[in-house]
Amino acid sequence: MGLIYDDPQLAALTLTRLAAEESEGPSAMTGRMHAILDDLVQRNGTGYLAELAIVLARARFAALDDLARATGTDTAELLDSVEIEALEGLDDDS
C-alpha cells in the first residue's frame, strides 16, 4: 500500500496546500513540492506525472469556471486572460 498521495487527486490537493502555504510568504515549500514529486515518480513511475498534470489542469479549469460564473464572465474569456498573462510572464523571465 502506497502513501495517501499516491492517488493523483490527493497528490494534487497536497501540492495545492503547499502552494497555499507558500503564498503566505517566502519559504522552503517549493523544495517540499519537488521532494513529493520525486518520491511519487520513484514509487509510481514517470507516467504518474502525466496523471497528476491532468488532475491539476482539470482542477484549474474548474476553479476558473467557478470564478467566471461567480463574476458573470465568460469562461473562455477568463481562460484567454490567464493565458495572455502567463505568456507575458515568459518575457519577464528573459
* Residue 7 CB coordination number (10 Å): 15
Q: How many CB atoms lie within 10 A of CB 29?
A: 18
pTM of the model: 0.76
User: What CA dihedral angle connects 21, 22, 26 and 28, to 10 degrees?
Assistant: 90
Give the span between the Cα atoms of 37 and 18, in whole angstroms.
12
In tens, the pLDDT along 3-38 reads 667 889 998 998 888 888 887 776 666 678 888 889
At residue 69, does pLDDT exceed 60? Answer: yes
Question: In degrees rounded to 5, what are phi and psi of residue 25?
Answer: 150, 165
